[in-house]
Structure 1
Amino acid sequence: MKIEVVCDVKTHLGEGPLWDVEQERLYWIDSTGMNVFRSTADGREVRAWDLPQMIGSLALCKNDRAVVSLQRGFHFLDLRTGDVELIFDPEPDKPNNRLNDGKVDKAGRFIAGSMDTKESGKNAALYRLDPDLTVHKLDDGIIVSNGPCWSPSGDIFYFADSWSGEIWAYDYDLSRGQVSNRRTFARLDTSTGGAADGSTVDAEGFLWNAQVYDGRLIRYAPDGSVDRVVEMPVKKVTSVMFGGPRLDILYVTSMAKRHLPHLPADGAARGSVFAVHGLGVTGLPEHRFAG
């Protein structure tokens, strides 16, 4: 196994790595720096888009367009012009909330949750943006939404409230885009200060989670047991996604900004995008939003 820095743009809060299998390009975001980035698999040809608000996640559409969860709702981002167009704000009455992590299901729906920016109350929720651009609430009572992803068959949905100390699994009705039967999939060891951040599922159905502030990537078996631990060179790792032409590189985002005094400090590599090679597993292509 080898870990290397792919791109060092010192993202304040790097998140949401996304591999585009069609263009063979890596996307990621800087949530609080309000940027979308794109590069080749090895970190060349970097391009950036400036956004008017903080961003929680991005998913690709067709025709050089992306759907993004911004501070104040779902938006389209035109990747040719950089123009941003509001779709819908599901929480106009919650000024301390913003939309956060999200991904697209096998039917082309965008599932994203919100977060309480003060990280103090269960004021956030999980939403589904359908291709017809209607928005539906799936769950609530959440502090910080993170790590949405699905089993390879699409019938199990994984999700975490970062400060719950757990990763949850739901039954997922792909025909209707509904969740049910929430249960604990895995409990984190929070004794070292780690919390569940971004996740992805590999081709074998194992879930990979970035444990922010703890500097570890955990691979969980389908039964929730710990299968593998990868120690990263920085503590504030934030999200993971398989990419590269063979989907065998695990890309890892991180944060450069120390948001609170008690959080761990990192060295010169903080805020970089990392690539983990030689894991012996591959990922699954990400779906495009159908709207």
Structure 2
Amino acid sequence: MAARPASGQASWKDEPMRLDWSDVTPEAVFMNRRAFLAAAGATLALPQGAGAAGAPAEDKPNTLDEITHYNNFYEFGTGKTDPAEYGGSFQPLPWSVQVDGLVDRPGSRALDEIAPARAVEDRIYRLRCVEGWSMVIPWNGVPLAGVLKAAGVQAGAKWVAFTSVLRPEQMPGQRRGVLDFPYVEALRLDEAMHPLTLLATGVYGKPLAVANGAPIRLVVPWKYGFKSAKSITRITLTDTRPPTTWNMLQPREYGFYANVNPDVDHPRWSQASERRIGGGLLGGRRPTLMFNGYADQVASLYAGMDLARDY
């Protein structure tokens, strides 16, 4: 069952546009799901932000084939189809994630400890790539905040760092030196603790495909996609801002915060509009939404910051 909005937040029913499970699944599957929930006495709801105000009416989820066959995952190669084509040798299970740094209870946690089935939620989020393309993806996962709270965040913690897997024997892109692997990313603590920030373990109710970052990845829907580290093996809380892969490689093009902003262009292309994957050559472009459409939920995180700069 999908989670209800956090206490104090507006209900999804208050939003003029929202993404709904009836938009995600085939009708027969949707009706079966509704019948099951009714029999169990449950109600079907989506978390705050699943369909933010101002979303285009045609904002439908992408197909599973599109989601799993159009990806940036340089560990397997630089081509969009490389992760699906060359990911067959990658073994995502068994898996564990080391949680350490400024926490009271550091240690290695198995996947089913981080994301037990009873805690998994349904989140339909937009995904916006810094390259100018976008998707809508029905994720399954757990809020990152819960994982951090369970580890016991210490008072001095200000940042959360993520390290992706390093397996060059299974990931051919790691043998080509395009990036300095392992891939690393980071968030400010309040970003990491925000209710929208997700550790995803599935799509469309199925375990994550290798191409999507199996078996567990970060999803931060108001930021460009490169901020959402895939195949995470370590989460570290720290009092100093951690280095991040793309920002180290080219800080002018890939800012640390990387919030989606239609008014701030990439040095080599405009960010004012985006191409929706699956939308066709002529009908796929649409205006980019500030914070990818989640401004009502996250803009307060950046009060007083100059959004034309990426600190």
TM-score by length of 1: 0.29
Q: Which has the higher strand share?
A: 1
Structure with larger Rg: 2
